[in-house]
Amino acid sequence: MNLPSVLTQPISPRSVVAETAARERLDSLVKPLGSLGRLEDIAAWLCGAQGRCPAVPIERVRVVVFAGDHGVADEGVSAYPREVTAAMVAAFLGGFAGVSVLAHSQGARVRVLDLGVRVDLPDAPADVRRYKVRHGSGDISRQDALTPAETLAGLEAGAAIADEEIDGGADLLVPGDMGIGNTTVAAALVAATLGLPADDVVGSGTGVSGLALVHKRAVIDLALSRRRADGPLGVLNALGSADAAATVGFLIRAAARSTPVLLDGVFSGACALVASRIAPAAADWWLAGHRSTEPSQRHALAALGLEPVVDVGMRLGEGSGAMVALPIVRAAQTLLAGMGTLQDLNLANADADTHSSGRM
Amino acid sequence: MNLPSVLTQPISPRSVVAETAARERLDSLVKPLGSLGRLEDIAAWLCGAQGRCPAVPIERVRVVVFAGDHGVADEGVSAYPREVTAAMVAAFLGGFAGVSVLAHSQGARVRVLDLGVRVDLPDAPADVRRYKVRHGSGDISRQDALTPAETLAGLEAGAAIADEEIDGGADLLVPGDMGIGNTTVAAALVAATLGLPADDVVGSGTGVSGLALVHKRAVIDLALSRRRADGPLGVLNALGSADAAATVGFLIRAAARSTPVLLDGVFSGACALVASRIAPAAADWWLAGHRSTEPSQRHALAALGLEPVVDVGMRLGEGSGAMVALPIVRAAQTLLAGMGTLQDLNLANADADTHSSGRM
């Protein structure tokens, strides 16, 4: 199985020049050295991604919600029936889902795409189904999620969607997700990629507890033992879904187009991990938005070397965690661009001891 | 020493009715139960503070920066000379300090007040000095920070400032701070209030390291052993400062006026701890904005039962950490007020298993 050519394009690193300039500028601002903590790293990252210092405000954020059903939902791994996936697509279209209201309040736009919902939503605009790969992905505990051709179609769809958004002017992309059963798929993708047992990736973080949790772990175990093919494409075939493949393609293409991405929670974390095994340089363009309560996200982000911006115990998905992190990314840009420098203070004899940085 | 009458007014609790309604509304929204994590607590807290559900948007945020010099800065406990305090007041007036640019970007206003700066700033509007208590507070390792009369004047000043801001329409107050040496004062206030040794409250989190950190610990030790008086007012006299006393008065008065407060970092945490020993019911009205890197803040917040909204390794002070947390407080309000309900989904047979909440 060969990758579509759109996913084998070279990926440039972020600008070292802009990032170095950001670090120098940060150290010149009216504050003790390093006192903005994580915001200094974020500001520098954004400068590197934009290739300029200071970075300009992030103004055209696009959230793309990749929706799809997962056959494994039939195994009873979720507290919700699979009909919820389609119903939630309607909620995104209606603008009343969690990510919708957060995005609206921050001037970001949300686009929902049906990659693999089991049914076709009769009332949805045709554009929502434009990249549809199949009706529901296979139950990973019993069969492959996708055929190789469907995996490629999903990857290509995600890349095409990234191109559309970037050509439309997006300056920050957020991958969102909707699909009953998708934390099971995310856990399986992470476990297979990192060689972890189901025990390490399943957790009460989903809200499933007691016997249902034991069952979910067994389902993941079954999926992992059934898998034959290796490599990221084999893992996607066997354990992924149409929406997962599209998210992977989206993430790789965003990096190839030098467009920064703010990851959401467990699903985008698992897809980012798989994407990094296809295109290792791509992770340079991804910032982790929030810490999900799902254990598989912790493993995925650790393997990627990413540390989330916020940790507020969210597990909604959709892109909502990234949208809670977005104002902090914006705050980092605002501080770097707007704060005065120590020279503005006009302090002739009040230089800080250069051997230690101190809180003022 | 008797408290000013303005600080002995009764303090009402937040509205249980509104908070209960918020919890019910949260459970009706299009999301798995509890899946917004910490944002659900914040949304409920805000409803309780506003006395209505859903809470209305926070629109008139006022940051008050209490500035003052601390005699203990002469002991070499900071990496910066004390001249920086006055210079930073000019930075607030000029709008180029960290908290200034964050507040501007979020439509919040910053007011800086000189409670105890060592010098009078010649170019500052007279209003900045309107509540000035003294020129620099005493070196707490050698003498009391304030006289009892000055402590009362500081408390009354803070209460009057809170009244002004609330009468001016503030719907959320943020106490900010500026004063070289003020983490030493904060550490001493927390240690004296909680009966902790200097070792527990001093840390490299300040940016001071090596011998300078050992010295800072010794200075705090000296201050703690010198103190005679007990009780929160005695602690403020001996170990506080004019700006600390004013912050304490501000926090108590805000609560008595049923106005929510978003605390900043180590200095407002220490003042909140002292304030809670004067008016235990006041803590009901305070939300902790961010986790400072200073260990004394951890002790203060634990004693208050408060958990910060964000933890991004900041140690700038000024109110800046609270301003990074503010968008998350606003996001909580936005979600509660704007999300649709499960009924909107029109899912006849798709109710979640009520025995467990599950991620969708």
At A202-243, the pLDDT tens digits run 966 457 889 999 999 999 999 999 987 779 999 999 999 999
Alpha carbon distance A50, A219 (integer Å): 43
Query: How does pLDDT run across A170-181, given as a tens digit for each residue?
Result: 999 999 999 999
* pLDDT < 70 stretches in chain B: 203-206, 347-360
Res A17 pLDDT > 50: yes
Looking at residue B118, its pLDDT comes to 97
Cβ <8 Å between A324 and B180:
no
Looking at residue A206, its pLDDT comes to 57
Cβ <8 Å between A339 and B96:
yes
Strand arrangement, sheet containing A109-116:
A109-116, A61-68, A172-178, A261-263, A286-288
Looking at residue B68, its pLDDT comes to 98
Looking at residue B352, its pLDDT comes to 44
Q: For residues A119-124, give the mean pLDDT.
A: 90
Res A352 pLDDT > 50: no
Question: Is A335 or A79 the better-scoring residue by pLDDT?
Answer: A335
Number of CB atoms found within 10 A of residue A169's CB: 9
Alpha carbon distance A116, B207 (integer Å): 52
Query: How does pLDDT run across B286-322, given as a tens digit for each residue?
Result: 999 999 999 999 999 999 999 999 999 999 999 999 9
Cβ <8 Å between B324 and A331:
yes
Kind and range of the H or E run holding B114:
strand B109-116
Alpha carbon distance A284, A14 (integer Å): 7
ipTM confidence score? 0.95
DSSP A30-64: SS-TTTTTHHHHHHHHHHHHHTSSSPPP---EEEE
Looking at residue B129, its pLDDT comes to 97
Residues of A tagged active-site: 318
**Best residue in B88, B316, B341 for a mutation probing chain A (most A CBs within 10 Å):** B316
The amino acid sitting at B337 is A
Task: Considering only the beta carbons, identify the residue of B94, B102, B350 that sits closest to A83.
Answer: B350
Looking at residue A262, its pLDDT comes to 98
**Best residue in B215, B312, B320 for a mutation probing chain A (most A CBs within 10 Å):** B312
Q: How far is B192 from chain A (nearest CA, A)?
A: 22
Strand arrangement, sheet containing B61-68:
B109-116, B61-68, B172-178, B261-263, B286-288
Cβ <8 Å between B360 and A80:
yes
Alpha carbon distance B131, B127 (integer Å): 8
The alpha carbon dihedral of B284, B286, B291, B294 has a sign of: negative
